[in-house]
Amino acid sequence: MKKYIIAFFLLVISFLYIFLSNETGGARVFVNLMTFAGIYGLAAIGINVHFGWTGLLNFGHAAFMGIGAYTTVLLIPHSLGREGVVISSGLPLPLAILIGILAAALLGLFLGLPTLRLRGDYLAIVTIAAAEIFRLLVRDFEDLTGGVYGIIQFSDSLQNSRPDFITRFGESYDISPSQFWVGLLTWISIIVVLLILSRLKKSPWGRALRAVREDEDAVRALGKNAVLLKLQSFMLGAAIGGLSGIFLVFNYGTVQASTFVPVLTFYVWAALILGGVGSLAGPALGAVIFWVIIAGTDSISRFLFESPDGQQLAGVRFVIVGLLIMFFMIFRPSGILGKKEELLLDVK
């Protein structure tokens, strides 16, 4: 129970900080942060299925997010960055999103089939490499993906579905209505995904994944197909990652190869560690705290440098996030909501 009280106070302090440190536009900042937090939280929930539930090390989540995003965006009306080739026909958005999620799951299958039979560390290496290969392919296949210039003008498919009251609400509180809509849908998705996952976690399937996490050989000795279980878990987590990638690019309104750099995966892991590996809602909470801290580091940057440029901002972010992860690993390796007894990140 104590940890929920801690979580509650952390959230209250975070939100107070946002509104007090922004005399004007507090609501705008809040919505911006919460939207990013939702997206990263959803991505972290995917990694949690991999690592927290099954013990699979996925360091290439950006690839799953990316393939989900690109698949969806290419299936709806869009234009390619540099030449401005406009493609004005496409599938209905819900169908495109579904196919995007499926594509991410299939990439999981494709990467998992050869590697999940091998020892755990292989998967970590393969996922790192896969994410970089994905990014470079996206960059170089300019005709399809727009390369570094990316894809633009695909947001209408989503924003056309925005109810009027969201628009009115946004305008009266000086919030970007389109971002508000993306953020709202993201958090609704988190709730739906968590409801499904909580059902799965308690089910025989969820229990089997935990057994795989603990000892694959024992799982085999009891007549269970550990590889199949790992593959299913890998595809499920990848699919959730795909969905988060889709929201990410709708939040930006554009997508380039550089959207899915390795640091994205790193930040998602940071959110997971803060929130608590293995817990259900931990990753989402971790993502909120993570984004408030990111906002905080930007004020530290402004304090350190008179007018910090992008590089300085990124540098300070890196240092602070790194220190924070170290702090958690040493003093609270179970994260905010994780169970101490089921500690997965042992630093001994």
Partner 1 sequence: MSNNLLSIRSLKKRFGGLQAVNVDKFDFNENQITSLIGPNGAGKTTFFDLITRFQNADSGSINFDGKNVTRLNSYKLARLGMVRTFQLTRVFDRMSVYENMQFAGSSITNEGFLNSLIQSSSLKNHEKLLIEKINETLELLNLSDMKNSYARELSGGQKKLLELGRSLMKSPKILLLDEPLAGVNPKLSEQLLQIIFDLNKKGINILMVEHNIDAVMKISERVVVMAEGKIISDGKPDFVRSDKNVIEAYLGSSNE
Strand, coil or helix: 137: helix
Q: Which part of the chain contacts partner 1 (CB under 8 A), choosing from 32-40, 154-162, 205-213, 268-276?
A: 205-213
Q: Which part of the chain contacts partner 1 (CB under 8 A), choosing from 7-15, 161-169, 177-185, 209-217?
A: 209-217
Q: Which helix (H) or strand (E) holds 195?
A: helix 177-202
Name the phi and psi angles at 86, rounded to 5.
Answer: -100, 125
Q: Which amino acid is present at 269?
A: W
Look up residue 93 and give its two tokens. 């958005």
Q: How far is the CB of 66 from partner 1 (least distance, A)?
A: 25
For residues 259 and 267, what is the distance between their CA atoms, to the nearest angstrom? 13
208 binds partner 1 (CB under 8 A): yes
Give the residue with the Cβ less far from partner 1, 82 or 199.
199
DSSP annotation string for 200-253: HHHSHHHHHHHHHHH-HHHHHHTT--HHHHHHHHHHHHHHHHHHHHHHHHHHHS
Q: How far is the CB of 117 from partner 1 (least distance, A)?
A: 11
Look up residue 345 and give its two tokens. 């990140």
**Residue 211 CB: number of other CB atoms within 10 A?**
17
229 binds partner 1 (CB under 8 A): yes
Give the residue with the Cβ less far from partner 1, 211 or 314.
211
Q: Which part of the chain contacts partner 1 (CB under 8 A), choosing from 57-65, 88-96, 163-171, 208-216?
A: 208-216
203 binds partner 1 (CB under 8 A): yes
Among positions 148-167, residues that touch partner 1 (CB under 8 A) are none
Total chain residues near partner 1 (CB under 8 A): 31
Summarize the chain as % helix, strand, coil (round to 5).
Answer: 75, 0, 20
User: Can you tell me which of 13, 207, 305, 327 binds partner 1, judged by CB under 8 A?
Assistant: 207
For residues 184 and 37, what is the distance between their CA atoms, to the nearest angstrom? 11
Among positions 105-134, residues that touch partner 1 (CB under 8 A) are none
Check: CB of residue 158 under 8 Å from CB of residue 182: yes
Among positions 319-348, residues that touch partner 1 (CB under 8 A) are 341-344
User: Can you tell me which of 1, 2, 24, 217 binds partner 1, judged by CB under 8 A?
Assistant: 217
Distances (CA, A) of 36 to 32, 184, 185, 213, 229: 6, 11, 12, 30, 31
For residues 210 and 215, what is the distance between their CA atoms, to the nearest angstrom? 9
DSSP 80: E
Give the residue with the Cβ less far from partner 1, 74 or 226.
226
Give the residue with the Cβ less far from partner 1, 51 or 181.
51
Give the residue with the Cβ less far from partner 1, 221 or 330.
221
User: Can you tell me which of 98, 125, 184, 211 binds partner 1, judged by CB under 8 A?
Assistant: 211
For residues 40 and 248, what is the distance between their CA atoms, to the nearest angstrom? 8
Give the residue with the Cβ less far from partner 1, 175 or 208.
208
User: Can you tell me which of 10, 200, 280, 300 binds partner 1, judged by CB under 8 A?
Assistant: 200
Give the residue with the Cβ less far from partner 1, 44 or 208.
208
168 binds partner 1 (CB under 8 A): no
204 binds partner 1 (CB under 8 A): yes
User: Can you tell me which of 131, 190, 226, 246 binds partner 1, judged by CB under 8 A?
Assistant: 226
Q: Which part of the chain contacts partner 1 (CB under 8 A), choosing from 10-18, 140-148, 213-221, 241-249?
A: 213-221
Q: Which part of the chain contacts partner 1 (CB under 8 A), choosing from 68-76, 125-133, 152-160, 224-232?
A: 224-232
For residues 155 and 242, what is the distance between their CA atoms, to the nearest angstrom? 17
For residues 263 and 267, what is the distance between their CA atoms, to the nearest angstrom? 6
Look up residue 62 and give its two tokens. 């950006």
The residue whose two tokens read 């993306």 is 182
Chain residues that interact with partner 1, rule: CB under 8 A: 196, 199-200, 203-208, 210-211, 213-215, 217-226, 229, 232, 236, 341-344
